[in-house]
Amino acid sequence: MSLPHAILTALLEKPSSGLELTRRFDRSIGYFWTATHQQIYRELGKLEQAGLIRVLPAEAPTRGQRKEYEVLSAGREELTAWVARVEEPRAGRDPLPLRVRAAAVVGSAGLAPELRRHLELHRQRLAEYRDIERRDFPPGRDAEPDRLRHVVLKGGIRLEHFWIEWLSEVLDELPGDAPA
């Protein structure tokens, strides 16, 4: 399981409340992982129980019943161990190629518009990632942590490329498809 480790990483980068974490999952962490706020709160509870993180006492009372968490040393150790752990790569699980395969059997009626919609979404995400890259990784920053974070982002960019190219290829194979 990776969600707890994703949370530990995010909290080490900056102690945060549940909702802040949720927002950060929509951005940087989210290139390769997503989570809803409910998942995150539940996981924060478990991590606290397990003694890997703790609540920072609030200084000024804020909105709602806001709780900031920080990582304890046991949490840092767990994350350090996870980095080197032997784990099998988990098979990708994307329904879209499956749908193309189904279309090979029952016909591709109605598939093209859905593919074009996905193509557009991936183009948008690619553009966002490029913006982030320009903003956060200007040339010259080359301490190791920065280089590693950058290479993760480049992975996100590469992956969007993959989808864009593959979707274009599929659209070329579909009958009666006028280019968008």
Q: Is 89 in the site for a copy of itself (CB under 8 A)?
A: yes
Binders in 67-86 for a copy of itself, by CB under 8 A: 76, 79-80, 82-86
Q: Is 168 in the site for DNA (CB under 7 A)?
A: no
Q: Is 34 in the site for DNA (CB under 7 A)?
A: yes
**Residue 65 structure tokens:** 């019943």
Judge contact between 89 and 108, C-beta under 8 A: no
What CA dihedral angle connects 166, 170, 173 and 177, to 10 degrees? -120
Binders in 117-156 for a copy of itself, by CB under 8 A: 117-118, 121-122, 144-149, 151-152, 154-156
Judge contact between 36 and 59, C-beta under 8 A: no
Tell me the residue ranges of DSSP E strands in the chain. Answer: 53-56, 68-71
Q: Which amino acid type is present at position 119? A: L
| Min separation Cβ 71 and DNA, Å | 16
Which of 38/168 has CB closer to DNA?
38
| From candidates 5, 9, 54, 67, binder to DNA by CB under 7 A | 67
Q: Is 97 in the site for DNA (CB under 7 A)?
A: no
